[in-house]
Amino acid sequence: MEEVKEILMNLDYSPLWVSLKTGVVATIFSFFLGIFAANKAVKAGPKVKASLDGFLTLPMVLPPTVAGFFLLLIFSTRRPIGRFLMTEWNVKVIQSWAGCVVAATVIAFPLMYRNARAAFEQVDVNLIYAARTLGMSEFSIFWKVIIPAAGPGVASGTILTFARALGEYGATSMLAGNIPGKTGTISQKIAMVMQDGDYVTAGVWVGIVMLIAFGIIVLMNLIIGKHLKQIRRW
């Protein structure tokens, strides 16, 4: 126990900070991109919806290292997109914190998209018709009618997206590397100390991750339970 206390006092918490800020930024990007894509998918025809759903869900079923490989191809400075970002905006994605955000966003995005799409499909269409009858614009209907009605599903997707972005390892390692204090995340830190044989420090980091994950699950259940408290249970 004393050894654990000593480790906690001398622990470099930069991986936790990098993981948290990466998770927050990636969740923000995934939230807006996810609800936009879900809104388009719900309105699309069956064939377009099937193709769009397959493409947008692909990062969730691919191994993270495969997704990281494709991201390396896209954002390499030898490729058009990576070269454009570097020459025009001086933005380097590979081996940078921006790479952490990009990788986490790509991997976590399908969770936001699928939860939002499922929630949008459960919204009563009569609410939308009533809002149109009252003269509301489509923009107002989306944010003031559809989003509140689909609130629990959107909230669950947001929380799960943050949890997935927080724990991303494979794609992040390939795209952003493991630079201490810059791109080194909790998952990378655990892998590194395990390779060094420092199981106590690895256990401390695992405990921190478990506490965060438990808090996320409890928060998600509280949000969903608050919405369902008026529903009679059998």
Q: Give per-residue pLDDT as tens, 188-197.
A: 999 888 888 8
Residue 227: pLDDT band with limits 50, 70, 90: low
* Sequence-separated (6 or more) residues with CB below 8 Å from residue 192: 178, 184
Which structure tokens are listed for 210?
């478990």
Domains of the chain: total: 1
Please say if the pLDDT value at position 231 is more than 60.
no
Contact predicate 16/208, CB 8 Å: yes
- pLDDT for the residue numbered 229: 56
Q: By C-alpha distance, which of 152, 176, 143, 57 is closest to 107? A: 57
d(CA 175, CA 106): 12
- Assigned domain for 130 exists: yes
Q: By C-alpha distance, which of 80, 105, 79, 76 is closest to 93? A: 76
- Assigned domain for 77 exists: yes
Cβ neighbours, 10 Å, residue 43? 10
* Sequence-separated (6 or more) residues with CB below 8 Å from residue 138: none
Range of the domain at 149: 2-227
d(CA 113, CA 21): 21
d(CA 159, CA 103): 18
- pLDDT for the residue numbered 175: 92
- pLDDT for the residue numbered 156: 87
Residue 204: pLDDT band with limits 50, 70, 90: confident
Q: Give per-residue pLDDT as tens, 24-72.
A: 999 999 999 999 999 999 988 888 888 999 999 999 999 999 999 999 9
- pLDDT for the residue numbered 152: 85
Q: Give per-residue pLDDT as tens, 112-158.
A: 999 999 999 999 999 999 999 999 999 999 999 999 999 888 988 99
- Residue 220: φ, ψ to 5°: -65, -45
- Assigned domain for 147 exists: yes
Q: Give per-residue pLDDT as tens, 11-26.
A: 888 999 999 999 999 9
Give how far Cα 74 sits from Cα of 30, 93, 99, 200, Å. Answer: 19, 10, 12, 38
**Rounded to 5°, angle at Cα 213 from 207 and 215:** 105
- Assigned domain for 233 exists: no
The percentage of the chain sitting over the pLDDT mark of 90, rounded to a whole number, equals: 56
- Assigned domain for 41 exists: yes
- pLDDT for the residue numbered 24: 93
Please say if the pLDDT value at position 232 is more than 60.
no
CATH of the domain at 61: 1.10.3720.10
- Assigned domain for 232 exists: no
| Residue 91 three-state SS | coil
- Listing DSSP states for 148-204 in one string gives HHTHHHHHHHHHHHHHHHHT--HHHHHHH---TTTT--HHHHHHHHHHTT-HHHHHH
- pLDDT for the residue numbered 88: 87
- pLDDT for the residue numbered 110: 96
- Assigned domain for 234 exists: no
- Assigned domain for 47 exists: yes
pTM: 0.89
Please say if the pLDDT value at position 111 is more than 90.
yes
